[in-house]
Amino acid sequence: MALVLTVAATPALSDATIGGKTVDCYCTDSKGSRVELGETICLQVDGRMFMAQCQMSLNVPMWREVAQGCFSSSLREGLQPSFDPSAVDTHI
């Protein structure tokens, strides 16, 4: 019985190698750049933008939507805080 279980489990152990060579699993972005498993990026598909994470599904790397829209760290110039020099006490 142990021999049968060992032989049956062999295909599951070979997921990371093919012909003795290690297979790197990763996703690619729209420009063809490599994105590692677990990384999250902003994707634009059919005019829709969303946050997607590179994940495995049935031993195939794929993109999974994790949030609607995309995060941004840039501010428009109109949103920058203004500075009023007359509000500063120069005798500190």
Interior/surface letters 52-73, b for 16+ CB within 10 angstroms, e for the rest: bbbbeeeeebebeeeeeeeeee
Q: What is the pTM of this model?
A: 0.54
pLDDT digits (tens, 9 = 90+) for 37-66: 999 999 888 888 999 999 998 888 999 999
Residue type, 76: R
Q: How confident is the model at residue 87 (pLDDT cuts 50, 70, 90)?
A: low
Residue type, 47: G
51's CB contacts (< 8 A; 6+ apart) are: 40, 41, 42, 43, 65, 66, 67, 68, 69, 70, 71
